[in-house]
Amino acid sequence: MVRFKNRYILFEINFGDNSKKPVQLKVTALHNAIQQKVQQLYGDFGIAAIKAGFSAKYCNAHTKIAIVKSRHGPHKFLINAIPIIKDIAGRLVSVKILYVGATIKHCFLFIKKFQQQKLEQAWNTLKTETERKNMKDALMTLTPAMKDCT
Amino acid sequence: MDIRESTGFYDLCVNVPENKIENLYPVLSKLCEYGFKTIAINTNIDESILGTDKKKKKKSGDSEISQGIVFETINIENIRKEFDGRLKIFNRITFFCSDFAKTHILNHCSSLKTYDLYAFAPRTQNALQCACTQLNADIITLRPNPMSFKLNKKLYDQAIERGIHFEIQYIDLLNVEFRKTTIHYSHLFHTYGKSKNVILSSGSNDIKTIRNPYDLINLACLLGLNEVQAKASMLHQCKRLLLRAERRHRGKAAFIIKDCTKKRSVIEEDAQCVKKLKTYVEF
């Protein structure tokens, strides 16, 4: 029996406008943005191809990492389409793919490492222990949506 | 029903344009021109036809009434005569259903026996599930619906094991609304079972929507079929399907016995030739 191969694409979203508005990350908005881009690039066929097993989720609101799951094969469409996403729900963004993994375990290992790096950078600017602890909590935890995946 | 070896392509779903038999003739001659040799003329049946009779049946408590339901069957004898030698024409019924219990009523119908092929078009997930596991149909056709179906490997394998074929109708690809879902379903067949038992048919009711079989083979790469599979989906798979339908009809396995007497004479001629040759060599 052949198992289904999946691909998980991790990417980081940077908001272009520097306004300090609280970032509202909505899964459906991300979902639509990706689908719209695939529709532009590959048309109806692309949409139909990525539809099976497609899901998009945010991992962490502070580091702004999102993860997209797709079947092996049509993930190539996604890899091409994701970097050229320019706006999500009307906000200007730039998207950077960090990692493409075959299992969610490896993706989490990568996220852990990545967030550790971010944390170390942030710690340099902070002095007190409580601030540091708060920062650690903020960066190293995942959103509740991801809990069921771990 | 006569299933003999045939060479041309199969198109196992042709609808009657606007319910007028006269309009069918140009469509069939066009199909014939494109190289199709075996055609099945489709009749759509909705479950609502059976629904009204179900209440009556409950009152009388007898299944005789359900046997009396007569659909508007297309008289294909005239068409068969018209296209004799050019096309082989079969009769097919497509049953649109959301409630699986209604298929039992249909099974009791005597008019079901007049159809050579029995296709089932589920409208709900539940109906699809039951059809894959229990229903004694030939074809399951996933028509675009407001509700989308979920298929899984187990369900698909069960259907394959029971010899049920899945149908893709390319008329849905010409339609902008349904294109995405149709491609999606055919990709599901590809991921779950490497597109086993998939047949490609037109489902057309208009002369403009008929395509050349070789164009269809090229088109089928969009549907996750490779060239060999695409060709098979219009040739060998359909032949297997017809044999299976025959089996369902008669409740037995069907096979064809061929008269081999002519072959023997060929062998004898051959032997004589060899003898002659030997005599030449001796000289």
Whether residue B222 and residue A51 make contact (CB cut-off 8 A), yes or no, is no
Whether residue A48 and residue B191 make contact (CB cut-off 8 A), yes or no, is no
Dihedral sign from CA coordinates of B126, B128, B134, B136? positive
pLDDT for res A94: 85
Q: CB distance from B179 to chain A under 8 Å? A: yes
How near does any CA of chain B get to the CA of A129, in Å? 52
pLDDT for res B225: 84
Q: CB distance from A44 to chain B under 8 Å? A: yes
CA dist B204 and B41 (Å) reads 10
Set of chain A residues whose Cβ sits within 8 Å of the Cβ of B183: 44-45, 48-49
Judge residue B223's burial from the number of C-beta atoms within 10 Å of its C-beta, 0-12 exposed, 13-18 middle, 19 or more buried. buried
Condensed to tens digits (0 to 9), the pLDDT of residues B117-168 reads 888 888 888 787 887 787 777 888 887 777 777 778 888 888 888 888 888 8
Set of chain B residues whose Cβ sits within 8 Å of the Cβ of A52: 184, 187-188, 191
Give the torsion through C-alpha atoms of B215, B217, B222, B223, to 10 deg.
Answer: 130
pLDDT for residue B213 is more than 60:
yes
pLDDT for res B282: 65
Cα distances from B79 to residues A21, B33, B68, B133, in angstroms, run: 72, 16, 26, 36
Q: Which residue, among B151, B176, B187, B222, would best test binding to A if mutated, counting the most A CBs under 10 Å from its CB?
A: B187
A47 to chain B: closest CA residue: B180
Question: Nearest Cβ partner of B183 from A4, A44, A71?
Answer: A44
pLDDT for res B58: 42
Q: What DSSP string runs through A42-91?
A: HHHHHHHHHHTT-EEEEEETTTTEEEEEEETTTHHHHHHHGGG--EETTE
Condensed to tens digits (0 to 9), the pLDDT of residues A105-137 reads 888 888 888 888 888 887 777 777 777 777 777
Whether residue A48 and residue B183 make contact (CB cut-off 8 A), yes or no, is yes
pLDDT for res B238: 82
Closest CA to A64 of A134, A115, A133, A6: A115
Q: CB distance from B236 to chain A under 8 Å? A: no
Which residues 50-69 in chain A show a CB within 8 A of chain B? Answer: 51-52
How near does any CA of chain B get to the CA of A102, in Å? 17
Of the ranges A36-45, B153-162, B226-235, B250-259, which is most confident? Answer: A36-45
Whether residue A52 and residue B180 make contact (CB cut-off 8 A), yes or no, is no
pLDDT for res B63: 44
Judge residue A31's burial from the number of C-beta atoms within 10 Å of its C-beta, 0-12 exposed, 13-18 middle, 19 or more buried. middle
Cα distances from B117 to residues B51, B92, B93, B224, B248, in angstroms, run: 22, 5, 6, 26, 9
Set of chain A residues whose Cβ sits within 8 Å of the Cβ of B222: 45
Q: What is the number of other CB atoms lying within 10 angstroms of the CB of residue B198?
A: 24
Q: CB distance from A39 to chain B under 8 Å? A: no
B184 to chain A: closest CA residue: A48
CA dist B134 and B127 (Å) reads 10
